[in-house]
């Protein structure tokens, strides 16, 4: 009787152990699944971090390109300003020549002086100034042509006056 009870007790304990073992195996499988899911999450997070680093590198590269473009733009702006100053100097020289030719040229010189004043005031408005530069260059060419025409006219008048003077002198003698 005691042996049967003991065998029954051992069988029950073995059955209990098997249930616990199965439960532990289930738990181990759950843990392995959790570990696998965690590894996958870590891998995804690492991929996202790598992607973010690549995006950061791209942004830094774009920022470097933008800075280089800005530096080139500043350099070109400075060149344009130097050319503008050079043009203003040349315009002043043309104005002086025009004043020597005739009173009519004074009117044109005043117009040019107004243009020059507007031109110098526009130093903070580079875009507008570039359009004005083209216009003023055309005006300068027209003024140079007019000055040359007037100089030729003055020379012609002087030549005729000299001829008349010589004729008068010849008549007097």
- Provide mean pLDDT across the span 54-67: 96
Report the pLDDT value the prediction gives residue 110, as an integer from 0 to 100.
Answer: 79
- How high is the pLDDT of residue 115? 66
Q: How far is C-alpha 69 from the chain's CA centre? A: 5
pLDDT: which is higher, 12 or 130: 12
Q: What is the pLDDT of residue 105?
A: 55
126 vs 134, higher pLDDT: 134
CA of 64: how far to CAs of 68, 71, 77, in Å? Answer: 6, 11, 20
Assigned token pair, 112:
């040019």
When the pLDDT of each residue in the chain is averaged and rounded to a whole number, the result is 87
pLDDT at 145: 94
Return all residues near 91 (Cβ < 8 A) that are at least 6 apart. 112, 115, 116, 136, 140
User: What pLDDT does 42 receive?
Assistant: 96
pTM over cut 0.85 = no
Instruction: Reply yes or no on whether the pLDDT at 100 is more than 80.
Output: no
The share of the chain scoring above pLDDT 90, in percent, equals 66
Q: Tokens 């843990």: give the residue.
A: 31
Q: Is the pLDDT of residue 146 over 70?
A: yes
**Structure confidence at residue 94 (pLDDT):** 76
Summarize the confidence of residues 62-80 as an average pLDDT: 96
Q: How far apart are CA 48 and CA 44, in angstroms?
A: 6
Q: How many CA atoms lie within 13 A of 78 on its CB side?
A: 6
Give the mean model confidence (pLDDT) for residues 83-111: 74
User: pLDDT higher for 121 or 15?
Assistant: 15
């Amino acid at each position: 009787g005691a042996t049967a009870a003991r065998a029954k007790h051992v069988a029950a304990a073995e059955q209990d152990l098997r249930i616990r073992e199965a439960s532990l195996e289930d738990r181990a499988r759950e843990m392995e699944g959790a570990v696998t899911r965690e590894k996958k999450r870590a891998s995804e997070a690492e991929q996202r971090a790598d992607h973010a680093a690549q995006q950061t590198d791209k942004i830094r590269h774009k920022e470097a390109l933008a800075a280089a473009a800005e530096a080139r733009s500043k350099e070109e702006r400075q060149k344009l300003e130097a050319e503008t100053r050079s043009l203003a100097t040349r315009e002043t020289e043309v104005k002086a020549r025009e004043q020597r030719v005739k009173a009519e040229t004074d009117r044109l010189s005043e117009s040019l002086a107004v243009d020059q004043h507007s031109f110098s005031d526009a130093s903070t408005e580079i875009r507008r100034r570039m359009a004005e530069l083209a216009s003023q260059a055309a005006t300068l060419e027209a003024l140079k042509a007019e000055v040359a025409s007037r100089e030729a006219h003055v020379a012609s008048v002087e030549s005729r006056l000299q001829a008349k003077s010589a004729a008068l002198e010849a008549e007097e003698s």
